[in-house]
Structure 1
């Protein structure tokens, strides 16, 4: 059975979501955040960078959310969380899956971190975030999710950053993305994951 090292209020919920969709159990090892909202030292004993999520499977240690999601889809022969291979939609999906952490997260965190601390958000950071949210709104298209009504790996990957933005009321000027967040929360895997491990974003 897969072991998931899961930091509270973290990207680990993405992995639980996919496992729930796949009907696969896991041995979940939970880690509480420190008073400074950082990962505890115990996670550094699992991964040199103290990262979460990390999974262990048959002696292999695998980190990075997108890699874990792809690994689980391959392990369980799942094709229901991506568009059909060889189609333009498939490559659009792959680009969006990597976009989340490669491009979007850094921009979003420049707004999220000061907002969480009650500090002013730099105007250039807010402008950059708005450009990315407009891009995501365009990617949603007719919706309700990125590729229709069922969550893909890219939707699952995107959910964590969107949850943080929603928690800080940073989607109010982007109704299409706000509606997308509402649709994500109705997905069975999201519901199962958050019932098991708590909400993605920390409470007020």
Structure 2
């Protein structure tokens, strides 16, 4: 019997890569879509699903899973029957596990700080305070998240180049590719630090995953959905 899968999907969130993996695995699933409030946060409805109120939350036959890395690892280990996204060597398994932690624990941290400084920079304050807010935000960016994210991107660019297959681990899509998709898209589209000139391998990799039919199906499924609050 096919599992009953429900993905609680907050708009513009990390849930996108979980939906992409579900499509690649050919699993049937339902999307419950949530919109963000004026503060760009989830509202109370998502907290009814899980007390943290974060997305993604994946329900499989009543089991609730949180955290993208855990969800990606669980789905591949349980439902990748043909081994399309799995790895077998200990070195590759360690590389995938490292990616699952690195994407969330290092790359995403820089992006979160830059999201906060961007809110400070664009805060609705008086014209006398706004220049100060912009200067403080810019100094914070220049002092830590921007140079650190540049190091992270250089590391990932080199990782792709050394692997030489067009993927982060082995010669096919793995959990590493799914987990890195969201922060690398933000690095390209939101903070504009990932560029084709500086990161040709990362840029090409993003284009290749975005061209995949399963990836595009997610965009079509979520386009125009109305949130539950």
TM-score (norm 1): 0.87
8 Å Cα contact 1:83/1:90 also seen in 2? yes
Is 1:11 matched with 2:14? yes
Structure 2: segments with no counterpart, 5+ residues: 123-133, 225-229
Q: CA deviation at 1:57?
A: 1.6
- Which residue of structure 2 aligns with residue 165 of structure 1? 187
Q: CA deviation at 1:112?
A: 4.2
Return the alpha-carbon distance in structure 2 between the equivalents of residues 165 and 103 of structure 1.
Answer: 13
Return the alpha-carbon distance in structure 1 between the equivalents of residues 146 and 223 of structure 2.
Answer: 28
Cα RMSD, aligned residues only: 2.2
Return the alpha-carbon distance in structure 1 between the equivalents of residues 20 and 216 of structure 2.
Answer: 8
State the number of aligned residues. 198
Select the structure of larger CA radius of gyration: 2
Return the alpha-carbon distance in structure 1 between the equivalents of residues 114 and 205 of structure 2.
Answer: 20
Dislocated runs of 4+, deviation >6 Å: none
8 Å Cα contact 1:82/1:93 also seen in 2? no
Structure 1 residues 160-186: Cα deviation after superposition (integer angstroms, max 9, x where no partner): 111112113221243332222212212
Q: CA deviation at 1:59?
A: 2.1
Is 1:180 matched with 2:205? yes
Return the alpha-carbon distance in structure 1 between the equivalents of residues 222 and 180 of structure 2.
Answer: 18
Q: In structure 1, which of residues 118, 122, 129 is the aligned counterpart of residue 141 of structure 2?
A: 122
8 Å Cα contact 1:66/1:157 also seen in 2? yes
Q: CA deviation at 1:52?
A: 0.6
- Which residue of structure 1 aligns with residue 34 of structure 2? 31
Deviates more, 1:110-119 or 1:75-84: 110-119
- Which residue of structure 1 aligns with residue 127 of structure 2? none
Return the alpha-carbon distance in structure 1 between the equivalents of residues 20 and 14 of structure 2.
Answer: 10
Change over 3 Å in CA distance of 1:135–1:198 after alignment to 2: farther
TM-score (norm 2): 0.78
Q: CA deviation at 1:143?
A: 4.2
Is 1:191 matched with 2:216? yes
Structure 1: segments with no counterpart, 5+ residues: 200-204
Change over 3 Å in CA distance of 1:178–1:109 after alignment to 2: farther
